[in-house]
Structure formats: C-alpha cells, structure tokens
Structure 1
Amino acid sequence: MSSTAVIVQPRLGLEDPHDCTDANDMLAVFDALFDGLVRYGPEGGYIPALARSWEVSADAKSWTFRLKEGLTFHDGSPCDAEAVCLSLRRMARPDKGYTLGAPGVWNQYLGDAVIEARDRLTVSIRLAKPIADLLDILVYGYVVSPQALDRYDAGDTSHPVGTGPYRLVSHESGAALHLRRFDDWHGGAPANAALTFRLEKDGDVRLAMLLDGRAQVANSLDFRTSRALEAADATRAVSLVPVAIIYLFNAFRGPLADARVRQAFNLAIDRQRLVDEVVHGAARPLQGFVSPVHFGSAPTQDNRPDLQGARRLLAEAGHADGLTIAVDCPNRLPDEAEALTAALAGQLAEIGVTLEVFRHEDREAYAHGVRLKQVRDMCVFDSSPLSTFRILAEKIDHRSRGSWWLGYHNAGVEALLDKGRATIADRERAGIYRAAFRALQADPPWLYLYNPLRVTGLSGRWPDWTMRRDGVLDVTNLPDFHAGGANP
C-alpha cells in the first residue's frame, strides 16, 4: 500500500484563505495548509494553534495573544507577530471575506480594530465594540507567509504558504492536491506522512474508491449506499453537520411579517417526517435557529407538530380561510430543495396554506437575489457557521442589515446579543444565548427544519474515530492507515 493517504471529496480547489467559506471540503484543505491563532478543540471550545495563550479584557474589547516560540512558514521564513498581523489586517479588508456575493464578512468585525504587534511574539487586537466570541472569527484567521501575500492579491492562489501541518508539493489543475507532512509544524506530527486530496463529484465512485483501496478517506457519502462499509473492512462515521436547513421568512411585508404566521408554520411541520421522506433519514430535526452543538443552544425533546395550535394562530392573524405563500426555490444547495418544497407543501396544506413555487436554476444568482432582499414570501436556504454569536449578529440583528437578514426585528433578542457580546464568562454567556434561543422559538425568523448528517468513510476499522464538531475533516486527527488498519 502506498504511504500516501488519499482523501476523495466532492469539492476541491486552492482558494484565497482570507475569503469566507462554510464549505467543509474547502475548510479541510485550509486547515491542512494553514493555522490561525486558535483551532477548534476536539471536545468543544478552542485550543492553541499559533497562539500558546490569550487574554481578554473585562469589557471584551482588548485581546492579547502570545505566540509559540520558533514558528516557521513552509518556505522557511519565521512566523512572528508582525506576520500574523499582516494576515489579520488583510482578512479584515472590505474586499476580503467574500462569500456568495456577500463581501466583507470579516470586515464587519475587524475592519475598525487596531491590530498590531507589541513585540515579536505578542499580537494585540483592540476592537471598537466588544466581541466576547472573537475566537469564533479568529479560528478562520489563517496566517499566510508575508512573501506570498502579493501573489494572493494578484489572484494567484496556486502556491499556498502557511504554517499548517502539511505543505503543498504539487497540484493537478484542481483535480488533486499532493501534500507532505511539514516536519517543523508546531503541533504533534500527524500520523500520515503524505496526503492527496482528490476531486470526485460522484458519490458512488467515492464509495467504490474507498472499498477497493484507491482511497483511505471518502467524504459526503450517500447515507443509504454507504452502509456497504459496515460489511467491509472499513469505518462508516456519521456526524451531524451544524449547518441548518431552513426557509427564510420575508418579514418586511406580507403574511410572514406577522409573528403569529411564522410561529404557525413552525408548529405545523412534522420535521421527522420531512427527514424520512426527503433525505431518507440523513438529518436530525432542528428545534431552533442553531444546531444542538452550537454554543448556548437549548433544544427541547418534544418536536411533535401542533396542527391545532397552528390553525388557531393563523385564525388570529386573519387567515382562518387559508392563505397562499409564494416560495423561491433553488435547484441545489441544498440539493433536495425542490423535493423538500414539495413535501413541505403537503404538510402546510393540512393547515390551509398553499405554496406557489418559483424555481431558480442559477444558484449563485439566487443567492445574490436573497442578499438584495429580492425574495417573495419565503425562500429555501441554509445557515452556518458554528458560531451562535455570528448568526445572531449577521442574520437576525436588524441593525446590521446583513446579507441574509429579511426584515426580522426582535428588540429583546437584540438586547441579549448586546449583553452576550460583552460577557466574557463562558457559562454566563451561554445562558444569555440560551435565552435568545428560547425567544427565537417563540418568535421565529425562519422555518426551522433540520441539520444534515454527513457520512465519512475510512479504510480499516476505527470505532473511536469521530468527525470534528464543526463537520470539517481534521487531517491531524486521521489514523495511521498504514499501521495495521484498526484501533489498538
């Protein structure tokens, strides 16, 4: 067997690490090549990456990070505080953080911050507004060698130079990336000396490659056909994806500007039935605006529909005789969008609601339309990332007028957000977000549906292996595929 571990996934490329993405396959590549100041911890929270320690002021406005000694980039140059600051300032530019037509994702948090090196190993970030959850942002603050920044600004992303656990050796025009373990990485040496990320869009082919030994890791496998792994010398790992599949409600105008109608829709839905019918069990019902693995989430156990309560709310809102809702629906992302909308129509019909569906073939143009608030009554969408604070700040707070905000306003939730962003004690802040979670169950901005389940296959039997909680493949956590093929 080759000493290289091959990872097959449906999306692959070399992109600018200072642009914003929630695509788990792209983040896996970024995490292999680059570091931020912190990384996601395997049990939750954050662990040191380039930073060995950090402190935050009582007002959550001043953060100090102390770097590890002896950090180096893949090109051999030192990674010091000034190099870190250069990348963070670049990340904070208004032209960076671009995702699906929404530029400046990071600029809204760091654009007015003072980011400076106090000395060779100390990074200072002074914010204009408190952000107790700044680590939610800095986990994506990938640090690039200063010598590579001009190439990135010129649009050349083909020569990434980071400090990550692996360095790029070569690539095949987006079809494959060949990586070698970086011996000077600051963390413990990853188990596999070399990695190849290979693009394979067909899920059946990814499964076949894993089964016949051409790959050691296959991501995003079909929930049903991947059961073949259980009878083979392989591992089928099922993980919850913290991305929420939802419908955005247009709260600017129309029936869904009324909180009673929004609540009625959420009460009427049998989420488990949708999961079973539309994605064949490959999801978990969603009970609020964030997933159960989000910080401060407070899901309940009872997720049964309440048709009587839904009809009562519709009647109170003046729709006792029913109403028609215009729905915008893309053809992908999520891929089941059309089937989901059809199934949803059947369920809402039980409370007298008819859906008039408008289909969109161009997914990127569709996202632009949502960003520009060109939405009918509601639209199929998703919500990420793994940050309760960011979702509240970017999508629910009416003061931000965010890209995916559609007119919703709840002053009580905004007051909780303001309190949370200035509360540095984790336990107290989690309680604040739990209160926001419950408030957004009573007055929902979206139709909450489900969190997908992702299947990842590994060659060999590794019963203790789990996906990281953000749904991103952590290559430093992969087993040694060439040392026996099973946990000891």
Structure 2
Amino acid sequence: MTTASPPALTIAQEKVDFFPANRVTDDRSILTLKALVMEPLCMWRDGRIFPALFARWECDAQGTVWHFHLRPDAVFHDGHRCTAMDVVAFIDAICTSVDMFGMKWSYARYFADVHFDALSDDTLRVTTARPMGDLPEIFTEFYLSRQDAHARAVIGTGRYRVTQFTPGVSATLHPAVVGTEPELTFFAVPKAEDRLERLRTGRIDLACQMDCLEDVSDLTPDVQWLGATHCLSVMAYLNCSRGLFRSAEARLAANLAIDNAALCREIYDGLAIPAATIVSPYHNGFAEAGITPLPYDPDAARALLAPLGFTGEVVLRTPTFMPEHAPKIAGFIKRALEDLGLDVRIDTATDRPGYAREIGNKAMGDIAIFDSSPHSTFRVLNDKISRESHGVWWQGFDDDAVETLIARANETIDPTARAAAYGACLAHLREAPPWLYLAHPKTLVATRPGLHGIGLDHKGILHLEPEHRT
C-alpha cells in the first residue's frame, strides 16, 4: 500500500538561489534552501555543535590533530558517495571564495597553517599548528554539494532533492524519500509587502523574511505569524583608529547614550531585543558571560565625554538597507548623541556593496551602521575585534586584555571550558565596547491559517518538522 504524500507547499521568500559550492553565505533565503537540500559538515544549534555529515570527531591531547568521520550512509542525490576527498576539495575551494560583495571570506586566514588529508573515504584528518578548538564550529558553515548538468551546485545529501530550478525565480524540491514529506515550491518575491499580499490572496502558503516589511507593525490577524530572535547583531562600528572614538571612554559613553530598549520599541515595534555585547544570546559563551545590556545613562555618558573636550563633527555613515531600517537607526543614534552635545552629520550610502567595501577599507567616518551575521563567536572575535588577526572588518580596536582572553578561548579544546573562556571575552567587551551595541531583530514568517509544523531557528532558517502540516 502506497502512503500518500502530504499536500504540497508554496513558499515565497526574498531570493531563490543556491550559489556556487565555494560561496558561503549568511543570506536567510539561500540558507533555507541549502538546509533542505544539503547538509553542513557539523550542525550549529544555539552555540552548541552536533553531528551532521560528520557523525563524530576526536582530537589528540595537544589539540592539534583531529579526525572527523563521515556518516557511512552519506550519499548525494545523484548516487555519488560523499567522501573525505569531497570535503578536502570543498575546503580548498572555500579558501578562495568571496562573499556577496566580492570580498574574500576569512577561511584562508583561519586555515593558513592547517592541513587537510583524506585518510580514507570516511575519515578526514586535520592538522593545525596550534590548538584550534573552534574547528567543528567553523565546519557548521560548510554545506557540501555537487554540480548538476548545468554546473549548478544543487545536488546535496539532505532531506530534499531539487527537481526544478530557475535561478532568481523559482525552485521545486521533492523529498529524497518519496511519500515522507510535502513537495515544496519556492518563488522569489523581493519585496516583503508583495509576499504578504500573495499570502493574503491565497496564492502561497508561507511568506518568509517578513521582518523586512517597511511597517513592521502590520502584523494583521488574518494570517499566522511565527517569529524567532535572530543571532544577527545590528550594530554600528566606532572608528577606534582616529577621532573621538579612539577613546575607550568615548566608546562607552556612546553606548550609555543609546536607549536600546526604546530603539527596539520605536524602530522594530518590539520585534527585537537589546544587544549586550558583540554577539547574541545564542552564541557560544554568552550564557557563561552572565551579562545584560548596558544601562541607558546619558548623565554618565556626559560625565565620560566632558574631560575629553571634543568639539569636532561626528560623521555617522549608514546604508539604506542591510540592516533593515538603517536610516531610521541612524536618525535615532544622531538624536541620542546630539543630546550629549555632539555635532552629528549623517552620510547615507546608496550603493550597499560599495559601502561594505568602503567599511572594509576603513573608510567609515566616525560611526558606521552595519550588521554582524556570523553565528560563530570565534569568527566575530577573529574578523572584527582582534588586533592580532587584523581582519577586514577590524576597525582599530586595541585592547591587550581582550587579546589574551581571545587567545585563551581559541586554544581551549574542551567545549565547556571553551564556552567559559569565550564568556570571559564577552563580559570584558560589554564593559569595553568596540562598537555601538544596538539590537538583535526577530525573523518573521507568515503562513496561511491552520498551517502547522513550521519552525525557525536563530539563524533565520525555515525548518519543516517531520510530522505533517495541515
């Protein structure tokens, strides 16, 4: 007797694409597709690491030789067995990859003194020059795939296989095991308002990335709403190399001047939580840090600024999007700093890729609104905070104490001890902020009434539960 497949679902999201295999992304639309069709080497869940394509792993007592073992039943949808050589080839390609703005990812720097060897079909050996406890977490960003006949990286080992794909337009996915899950059709609908209209008129079952609505208060009861706080940080870089914010006191003062709770209410309509440090509550080490957001205390901020005698102009740069509502956030920051007596000028950039390249090249003015998307505490510290790493997003922050704390955490192998070590980093950075801590927005999905079994994780990825939806 044949079991009937669950009814098909039609989903609208901002983008429909898979990207080349060597292009890592943090885009929620693309990660949703990748997570259905492919599998990461290891699985991240709220700062903890679990098996995925790698079923298990171990390292030696020195923490410099690792062995990762592939799940024995890992087979791509075209019948090709997933092997350790596939992993080596993927990592080699990743080390030359670029992000959506054409800027090189940091993996080549992470792996500069790391060697990858396929000891057998099932076992990968990784040898590092120094202990590297975060290796499994880095692997959570790597989704293995193979190319189809059109050189598109759409063949994975996951729950779904791709049966139709028109880049930038649509994709149809069928369950890898027939009859177990519904057929899924994704459509690219760039504007959140258009996605919501399609849902309200019955043309789709789900509308994703609805936190991108211009008016986030438009959460009407005629559809179901599902939300999860994102691990992404909306923040503003402070120029630690020159100007007012070379001063640690000025950086702390700027943070005390921002009423983050009011920002979350007024700009996000309550659909965000205030930030307390450089990462979210779902990152490794946050719980161990035992911290809360800095208080709103403009009087203390004025007291910190007064001895500095600063009389110049503060240039506040902002894009028009990424993060969402960036111009409104810029206006909020401007008003808060002007209340301290500072002269603030907003410089709006309309070319978002160009803006990212300028910030990466340190052309940031005094303050630059941005977002921090890695779900890895290691990556945020390495790419954006550490003077020793001097990553592309580092803006001149120089703190001897935090360098010691980062090195200690990086080289700690035991997961519990490493989380505590990262907690010490995060607690220190709460008191000595390198940038403006603003908010962690919610990811929103809207569905037709009565649809169940839909989930969101803290990376903003849509998940379908194994049990069927009505």
Give the structure-2-normalised TM-score.
0.91
CA distance in 1, matches of 2:84, 2:108: 20
**Equivalent of 2:165, from 162, 171, 189?**
171
CA distance in 2, matches of 1:305, 1:437: 19
- State the Cα deviation string for residues 24-72 of structure 1 (Å, max 9, x = none): 111111222222222234x652222212211123333222111222321
Q: What is aligned with 2:468?
A: 480
Q: What is aligned with 2:89?
A: 86
Q: Which runs of 5+ in 2 are unaligned?
A: none
Structure 1 residue 356: deviation in Å? 1.2
Contact 1:35 1:164 in 2 (8 A): yes
Structure 1 residue 435: deviation in Å? 1.3
1:331 paired to 2:320? yes
Q: What is aligned with 1:114?
A: 115
CA distance in 2, matches of 1:54, 1:18: 23
1:27 paired to 2:31? yes
Contact 2:22 2:93 in 1 (8 A): yes
CA distance in 2, matches of 1:302, 1:80: 45
CA distance in 1, matches of 2:291, 2:80: 51
Contact 2:274 2:293 in 1 (8 A): no
Q: Which runs of 5+ in 1 are unaligned?
A: 184-188
Matches within 5 A, 1:56-71: 56-71=59-74
CA distance in 1, matches of 2:292, 2:235: 19
Q: What is aligned with 1:76?
A: 79
1:318 paired to 2:321? no
CA distance in 2, matches of 1:343, 1:60: 46
In the alignment, residue 469 of structure 1 is paired with which amino acid?
A: H
Q: What is aligned with 1:437?
A: 426
SS in 2 for 1:379: strand
Structure 1 residue 445: deviation in Å? 0.7
CA distance in 2, matches of 1:177, 1:162: 14
Contact 1:328 1:360 in 2 (8 A): yes
CA distance in 2, matches of 1:374, 1:103: 18
Cα 1:157–1:270 shift into 2, 3 Å: farther
SS in 2 for 1:31: helix
Contact 1:394 1:404 in 2 (8 A): yes
Cα 1:451–1:159 shift into 2, 3 Å: closer
Q: What is aligned with 1:196?
A: 185
Matches within 5 A, 1:97-108: 97-108=98-109
Cα 1:90–1:163 shift into 2, 3 Å: same
Structure 1 residue 227: deviation in Å? 2.8
**Equivalent of 1:15, from 13, 19, 26?**
19
CA distance in 1, matches of 2:253, 2:75: 56
Contact 2:239 2:395 in 1 (8 A): yes
SS in 2 for 1:385: coil
Matches within 5 A, 1:346-361: 346-361=335-350
Matches within 5 A, 1:298-309: 298=289, 300-301=291-292, 303-309=294-300
1:227 paired to 2:219? yes
**CA-atom RMSD, angstroms?**
2.4
Q: What is aligned with 2:128?
A: 127
Q: Sequence identity, in percent?
A: 27
Cα 1:355–1:127 shift into 2, 3 Å: same
Q: How many residues align?
A: 461
SS in 1 for 2:196: helix
CA distance in 2, matches of 1:479, 1:347: 49
Give the structure-1-normalised TM-score.
0.88
Structure 1 residue 134: deviation in Å? 1.3
**Equivalent of 1:181, from 171, 175, 183?**
175
SS in 1 for 2:317: strand
Contact 1:18 1:142 in 2 (8 A): no
SS in 2 for 1:332: coil
